[in-house]
Chain A
Amino acid sequence: MKQYDAIVIGAGILGCMTARSLRRWNISTLLLEKEEDVCRGITRANSAIVYAGYDNKPGSLKAALTVRGNADMEALCEELEVPFSRCGSLLVAYEPEAVPKLEKKLSNGRKNGVPGLKLLSGPEAEAMEPMLKKGVAAALYAPSTGTVNPWLLGIAAYENALQNGAEAILGREVLAIRPCPEGYQVETREEVYQTRMVFNCAGAFADRVQGLAFAPEVKLKLDGAEYLVFDRLAKKPERVIFYQTQSSGKGITAIPCTEGNLLIAGVRKDMTIPYATSPEGLVEMLDRVKELLPETDTGLVIRSFGAVRPNPYRDSGESIPDYVIENPAPGFYSLIGVKTPGLTCAEGLGMLLAQRGAEYLSAEENPDFDPKRRGISEKDNDILCQCEQISRAEILEAIRRGASTVEAVKRRVGSGMGRCQGSRCSGEIARLLEEYGHGSL
């Protein structure tokens, strides 16, 4: 039986960041992921926003991690060579009754230490973002808000974890966890592993994974959200725009992505099938976009997708607003219900888990830890994805780094993300994958 100091379950952004952080110490680490690639869960479908931190309750772990995660994001993205844009954000209100809400957020934000917050008048906000529908009552401006590519950040952390000696096995689902004198035995269909510590980062499944060994105090209720992606040519605001209609409580968020596309995040809705969208939802979202950003050409949508949101609650039915690290037994740590802004806090949460683990094992620091990951920068002149102008060399490098499907290549280099959605390049990319020993289409 293979033995490790730590097994991390789930290679979403939290698992990847945790594995990376664990390697800052001499802690032998195995990352297990049930899907064939990393970051295929919640991390693949979210709003990509690096939150400023004015939404969270002063004094909460969430508030502290968000403000710090936001401040540290530049450095992190530089280390991991992932694009990041500190574009700022406006939370806009059109009804005067909503203005007190903005004031409350302003005061929250100030208590949390969010830099540069400012309450703008309607005309000031409209001047800042001329695309906005006229008639803004007030807006909360947060210059520190940013955007990042969520799965790329996760993939980068994953690559850096491996580079620093973590092991990972994809396509391996944890089916059972048995406490034993030395720690835990973690079972998959293929193999059983021995470990001193377990880090449960199983996203939407985290309550069930904890349930494999201990009754979870925190359970998850899943709901969903929907998204639209626009062609890069579509006009977009410069900043993230949060928009909540007072009447229906429904709103949208407009996000200028680091890739240059406009992303629209739709409202929360009940979930029947994970990651599914509804035709009504998509149409409704288009209406909302027209309402908020009237100049938007709604004919320029190139993709839509659904998301899964894990909402934590206790048996009593009470929902849990803050992040909690569950520690049901020595050496067992669970992150259950890390929803927004989990991306912003991912490194912070990963560090917290790793510190707990290092203390538990009295582990020594790893003097060889190298935080630097090299992005994929090899380019040649053979353009395979014409929409995004991605060359063969970049695609081959993604394959060399482990991408085994057209989708995995896409998420590493951006091929097929453009206006034709891969209808012209995926055949050739599939051929290259086959040439390099991965299955077919």
Chain B
Amino acid sequence: MDHYDILIIGGGAAGVSAARAASGRRVLLADRGPALGGVLLQCTHRGFGNNQTGPEYMEHLLRDFPESVELALNTTVLSVSPEKTALLSGREFGRREVSFDHLILAAGCREIPAGALPIGGTRPEGVYTAGQMQALMNLRGYVPEGPAVILGSGDLGLIMAKHLAEAGLEVTLVEKKDSCGGMARNRRCLSEYPIRLLCGDTLAVLHGEKKLSGCTTAKGVYLPCKSLLIAVGLRPEQELIAHLAQPEWLTLCGNCRQVHPMVEAVVQEGKQAGAAVKKAIEVCL
């Protein structure tokens, strides 16, 4: 079994920043995807750093990435044990168990799916999470059918509203709170495109036998639609360590510790995590 000073799970902005800061020690960085970047890779909008797209921002994060960090791409970490070992499943190398002294979990977050919400009605095709649609459109060139309804007007809901409006779809945003959420720069799309915003309301019922035909809000407004995007929030991806009792060898950073709206904060947290773990190791030596 190979041993590492530090195993980092997740190669998004957080994991990459942690790996940079921890380099010099024996570090293994594992990510499920074929490339480093995590969610940044699907964000083609210019919302990062210095008016960059997600991939551009990632390129900048990866400049002079330390060669000493061992990468395991296309690799899913299946489990972590209390004995400080992890089971990896890699497309190229197969199953592999490794041991480590420290674990940095930078696994990001996942979206709350429609199923988790108390929405009644049928379960037709045409219901997605916002990030799922972002990936489908930006990475696979898919264009959903309009009209579209987006539940949740946070940053992700707004980014997708703009995206769909740009693709020519009629879009309605439904927001439970009394006013639109999200950052000012993401709200701009509301004045630039004919996006309808329904505040103080939520979705109650979905309609459609096989394919989505519409939805009804709690206040009884019927919205015909062929696509519904759920953008009601993100959950830190912590299930891998749910069975562990916060051991001192474990550090969380980025969206998997707490959901951050801005990538800079994620990078900062990753850096700190990497540096702190490296220091802890060096103090012990």
Tally A residues with Cβ within 8 Å of B: 37
What 1/0 flags go to A233-249 for Cβ under 8 Å of B?
10000000000000000
In the assembled complex, the Cα of A383 lies from the Cα of B42 at a distance in Å of 20
Please report which residues of chain B, range 123-173, place their CB below 8 angstroms from some CB of chain A when the two chains form the complex: 123, 125, 128-129, 131-132, 135-136, 139-140, 142
CB distance from A59 to the nearest CB of B (A): 40
Query: Which residue among A381, A407, A431 has the maximum number of chain B CB atoms within 10 Å of its CB?
Result: A381
- B contact residues around A116 at 8 Å (CB): none
Chain A residues near B118: list those with CB within 8 A: 279, 282-283, 286, 304
Q: With A and B bound together, what is the CA distance between A21 and B146 in angstroms?
A: 47
- Asked if A382 and B111 make an inter-chain contact with CB atoms under 8 angstroms apart, the answer reads no
Q: Is the CB of A420 within 8 A of B110?
A: yes
Report how far A380 CA is from B91 CA in the complex, Å. 8
Quick check: which of A102-110, A354-362, A422-430 contacts chain B, the rest being far away? A422-430
Chain A residues within an 8 Å CB radius of B111: 420, 423
Q: What separation, in Å, do the CA atoms of A382 and B110 have in the docked complex?
A: 20
Q: Determine if A279 and B205 form an interchain contact, defined as CB atoms under 8 angstroms apart.
A: yes
Which residues of chain A from 416 to 441 have a CB within 8 Å of any chain B CB? Answer: 419-424, 426-427, 431, 441
User: When the two chains form the complex, which single residue of A273, A306, A380, A427 contacts B132, counting CB atoms closer than 8 Å?
Assistant: A427
Which residues of A lie under 8 Å from residue B110 when comparing CB positions?
419-420, 423-424
Check A419–B121 contact: CB distance below 8 A: no
- Nearest CB of B to A141, in Å: 30
Q: Is the CB of B121 within 8 A of A276?
A: yes
Shortest beta-carbon distance from A41 to chain B in Å: 13
Cβ contact within 8 Å between B113 and A421: yes
Contact present for B132 and A381 (CB under 8 Å): no
- Docked pose: A283 CA to B163 CA in angstroms: 33
Note all chain B residues with C-beta closer than 8 A to A441.
136, 142
List the A side residues contacting B74 at CB < 8 Å. Answer: 382
Known: A386-B32, A424-B132. A301 touches B89 (CB 8 A): no
Please measure, in the bound complex, the distance between the C-alpha atom of A391 and the C-alpha atom of B89, giving whole angstroms.
Answer: 10
Is the CB of B250 closer than 8 A to any CB of chain A? no
Contact (Cβ within 8 A) A423 B129: yes
Q: Which residues of B contact A383 (CB under 8 A)?
A: 32, 76, 78, 89
Asked whether A389 lies within 8 Å of B142 as measured between CB atoms, the reply is no
Chain B residues within an 8 Å CB radius of A302:
113, 115-116
Nearest-Cβ distance from residue A246 to partner chain B, whole angstroms: 27
The answer to whether A423 touches B132 (Cβ under 8 A) is: yes
Does B119 sit within 8 A of A, measured CB to CB? yes
A303 within 8 A of B: yes
The residue on B at minimum CB distance from A406 is B125
User: Taking the complex as formed, is B90 at the interface, i.e. its CB lies under 8 A from any CB of chain A?
Assistant: yes
Does A277 contact B135, Cβ atoms closer than 8 Å? no
Does chain B have a CB within 8 A of A281?
A: yes
B205 shortest CB reach to chain A, Å: 7
- Are A381 and B91 neighbours in the complex by a CB distance under 8 Å? yes
Q: What is the chain B residue whose CB lies nearest that of A285?
A: B118
Inter-chain contact A427/B135, CB cutoff 8 Å: yes
CA distance A351 to B128 in the complex (A): 42
B98 interfacial by beta-carbon distance below 8 Å = no
A366 contacts chain B at the CB level, 8 A cutoff? no
Q: How far is the CB of B238 from chain A (nearest CB, A)?
A: 10
Q: Pick the contact of A381: B95, B129, B204 (CB < 8 A).
A: B95
Q: Are A421 and B122 in contact (CB under 8 A)?
A: no
Please report which residues of chain B, range 93-129, place their CB below 8 angstroms from some CB of chain A when the two chains form the complex. Answer: 93-95, 110-111, 113-116, 118-123, 125, 128-129
Do A427 and B140 touch (CB < 8 A)? yes
Asked if A60 is at the interface (CB within 8 A of a chain B CB), the reply is no
Q: Which B residues are in CB contact (< 8 Å) with A424?
A: 110, 132
Q: Cβ of A278 < 8 Å from any Cβ of B?
A: yes
In the complex, chain A residues whose CB is within 8 Å of the CB of B142: 427, 441
Residue B284 is within 8 A (CB to CB) of chain A in the complex = no
Q: Which residue of A lies closest to B93 (CB)?
A: A381
Is A275 touching B242 in the complex (CB atoms < 8 A)? no
Chain B positions near chain A (C-beta within 8 angstroms): 32, 74, 76, 78, 89-91, 93-95, 110-111, 113-116, 118-123, 125, 128-129, 131-132, 135-136, 139-140, 142, 204-205, 218, 239, 242
12 inter-chain pairs at a CB distance below 8 angstroms, sorted by A residue, are A279-B118, A279-B218, A286-B118, A302-B113, A305-B123, A381-B95, A383-B32, A421-B113, A421-B114, A421-B116, A423-B111, A424-B110
Nearest 4 A/B pairs, CB to CB: A303-B115, A421-B113, A383-B76, A423-B132
Told that A302-B115, A420-B111 touch, could you supply 11 new A-B pairs with CB distance under 8 A? Answer: A275-B122, A276-B121, A303-B113, A303-B115, A303-B116, A304-B115, A306-B122, A381-B90, A423-B129, A431-B140, A441-B136
